[in-house]
A and B are shown apart, each in its own frame.
Chain A
Amino acid sequence: MMDKMIFGRYVPANSVLHKMDPRSKIMIIFLFVCIIFLANNVVTYALIGIYTFFMLGLSRVPVRFLYGGLKPVIWLVLFTFILQLFFTREGALLYELGPVKIYEEGLRQGIFISLRFFFLILMTSLLTLTTTPIEITDGLETLLHPLNKVRFPVHEMALMMSISLRFIPTLMQETDKIMKAQIARGVEFASGPFMERIKAVIPLLIPLFVSSFKRAEELAIAMEARGYRGGEGRTKYRELSWKKADSLQMVLLVLVTILLFLLRS
Chain B
Amino acid sequence: MKNPIVTLDGISFQYDTQERYALNNVSFDIYEGEWLAIVGHNGSGKSTMAKLLNGLQFPQAGEIHVCGIKLDEQTIWDIRKKIGMVFQNPDNQFVGTTVQDDVAFGLENNGIPRDEMVKRVEDSLKRVKMDKFLHQEPHHLSGGQKQRVAIAGVLALRPSIIILDEATSMLDPKGREEVLETVRLLKEEKSLTVISITHDLDEAAKADRIIVMNKGEVFREGIPEEIFSMDEQLVQLGLDIPFSVKMTKSLRDNGIELSRHYLSEEELVTELWTSRSST
Contact = CB atoms under 8 A, between A and B. Distances in A.
Taking the complex as a whole, does A directly touch B, i.e. does some CB pair lie under 8 Å apart? yes
Contacts of A222: 85, 87, 92-93, 95
B96 to A, nearest CB: 7
A225 B137 contact: no
Contacts of A162: 96-97
A134 B95 CA distance: 13
A196 interface: no
B38 to A, nearest CB: 17
Given A218-B92, A233-B111, A226 B97 contact: no
Contacts of A219: 92-93, 95
B97 to A, nearest CB: 5
B157 A227 contact: yes
B94 interface: yes
A173 interface: yes
A237 B92 contact: no
Contacts of B54: 225
Given A169-B139, A227-B157, A237 B97 contact: no
B77 interface: yes
A71 interface: no
A241 B87 CA distance: 35
Interface string B103-147: 011111111111001100100000000000000011100000000
Contact of A225 (B56, B113, B117, B118): B56
Interface centre among A134, A224, A227, A235 (most CB of B within 10 A): A227
A148 interface: no
Interface in A207-253: 214-215, 218-219, 221-229, 233-239
A180 interface: no
A166 B108 contact: no
Given A219-B92, A222-B92, A227-B106, 7 more contacts: A162-B96, A166-B137, A224-B56, A234-B111, A236-B114, A237-B117, A237-B118
Contacts of B93: 218-219, 222
B139 A239 contact: no
Contact of B138 (A166, A229, A235): A166
Interface residues of B, number: 38
A191 interface: no
A233 B111 CA distance: 6
B80 interface: yes
Contact of B101 (A223, A228, A237): A237
B114 A239 contact: yes
B121 A237 contact: yes
Contacts of B110: 227
A163 B111 contact: no
Nearest to B88: A218
Given A169-B137, A170-B139, A218-B87, A235 B95 contact: no
A239 B113 CA distance: 12
Interface string A188-220: 000000000000000000000000001100110
Nearest to B87: A222
Contacts of A225: 54, 56, 80, 84-85, 87
A166 B111 contact: no
A228 B139 contact: no
B96 A166 contact: yes
Contacts of B56: 221, 224-225
Interface centre among A214, A215, A224, A239 (most CB of B within 10 A): A224
Contacts of A169: 137, 139
Contacts of A215: 91-92
Contacts of A236: 108, 114
Contacts of B184: none
Contact of B89 (A218, A223, A224, A233): A218
B40 interface: no
B87 A235 contact: no
Contacts of A214: 92
A165 interface: yes
A173 B56 CA distance: 30
A170 B91 contact: yes
A166 B91 CA distance: 10
25 contacts: A170-B138, A214-B92, A218-B87, A218-B92, A219-B95, A221-B56, A222-B85, A223-B105, A225-B56, A225-B85, A225-B87, A226-B84, A227-B80, A227-B157, A228-B109, A233-B111, A234-B109, A235-B107, A236-B108, A237-B101, A237-B108, A237-B117, A237-B118, A237-B121, A239-B114
Given A215-B92, A218-B87, A235 B80 contact: no
Contacts of B94: 166
